[in-house]
Amino acid sequence: MDTNRLPPHSLEAEQAVNGSLLLNGSILGRISSMLRPEDFLSERDRLIYSACLTLDDRNESIDITTVADELAREGVLDKAGGNAYLNQILASVPSSFNAEDYARDVFRNSISRQLIEAAQQISEIGYDNDPDTSNAISRAEDVIYKIRQDRGSSDFKPVSRIIKELTEEELARENVDSELERIPSGLNGLDDFIIGGFNRADLVILAGRTSMGKTSLALNIARNAAIESNATIAIFSLEMSGQSLVNRLISSEAEINNNKFITLNFTDDEATRRMNAMGILGEAQIYIDDSATLRISEMRSKLRRLHADHKLDLVVLDYLQLLNSDGKTENRVLEIGNFTRALKAMARELDVPIIALSQLSRNVEQRGKDSGGRIPQLSDLRESGSIEQDADVVLFVHREAAYFRSQEDWDRVHPGEEWPREMAEIIIAKNRNGATGKVKVHFKPEFTKFGNLAVEGFGMP
């Protein structure tokens, strides 16, 4: 590599951007989303552009006088070249008409310089010769991805600018019918609580005791979003193989007893329904990773790559406690806390809801009726402190019938009460942006399928 080469830059373009702003400060709104002060290689132009942003944040006009006054107020007028340099760049552009072209030139050179720096960092990672090759690749990916991601991050903003951004985003959404603002679960009662669907950038914890159906519920939600809302779904299955997971999806879609997928002994009608279900699911944008071991850094890298190729709408992780740490953490509570914080950061970074399944402690089954019975509570979450704190939504799935082997067992304990074999509750225990409560849903255990009570003909609870 030729170390004598100057990094990509155009001082003329940097001067032209600032000259255009001194001519017509109102154009800043057209380029400020593209350019940052650090994109300028010249210190003088970097200071001038920063002063323009400061004036704009205060809703003050931008011209040669106000910029000079702001630079003097900040004590950097001389560093910025003084009034002579301001007059020079003002005279260097005939009009502000091409300001966006100048800004794109400055931006392009800035990205090129960042890529050169990233290449040097990746080179150092290579020379480190980390024996953990997966970790080395993940670190290298982080270096490159940071360049892209940094364009979406910023410092503190005034409310006025955020309101402006929200307005522009709403107008853009009106013109893009294909983008889902929220991701519906397909279960009406649940969607009512979460205001039409899962909010993008939310971390959703779906928890339940063993055999309650949390994996089935997550798959049902994924299926509903993919087929009914054309959403793109990523599923990480650390416990089940991809084949087993897909068989569950087919069983639910075709309403064929899940046990038949072991023997493959289908009737003619079931075989037809199975083929139809495979056709429907084959068209869905569902991607499954069934790695038996998965580290949080690997999950992030895989999602970034998938998101770049297919814009994601929803991520499902089955389940939280099976994730592997990137480093050694003796304290399990701290380790889970690292996982949930990383998952929340991923949700925000990719702008997708992440549904992470979680186990509940055995306290649920040990409580008596006087303490709320076997209804799950937030304190039942394993390593609950960080999970509850980081999650935007916490859902519990509960089926009282799962604690009884047969209707006879149920009748002995609950004489005169209806056997709730096909009834389940989704408990909204935490909802950062809405209400909490319970939703009764229909559950068909032989098909591992959840559905709306009204749709299934059981009436509303």
DSSP state of 233: E
- How far, CA to CA in Å, does 1 sit from each of 4, 128, 154, 380? 9, 20, 33, 58
The CA distance from 132 to 459, in Å, is 56
CB contact at 8 A, 287 and 352:
no
CA geometry: angle 118, 144, 319, nearest 5 deg: 140
Which of 427, 432, 457 is closest to 442 using CA atoms? 457
Torsion sign, CA atoms 11, 13, 16, 20: negative
Determine the angle formed by the axes of helices 133-150 and 99-128, rounding to 10 degrees: 170
Tell me whether residue 170 is one of the annotated catalytic residues.
Answer: no
Q: By three-state DSSP, how is residue 240 classified?
A: coil
- How far, CA to CA in Å, does 412 sit from each of 142, 212, 422, 424? 59, 22, 19, 20
The CA distance from 217 to 448, in Å, is 8
The CA distance from 249 to 220, in Å, is 8
Which of 319, 300, 111 is closest to 216 using CA atoms? 319
- Find tokens 């260097």 and name the residue: 92
Which one of the listed residues 141, 239, 270, 388 is annotated catalytic? 239
Q: Which two tokens stand for residue 249?
A: 């999806």
The catalytic residue positions are 239
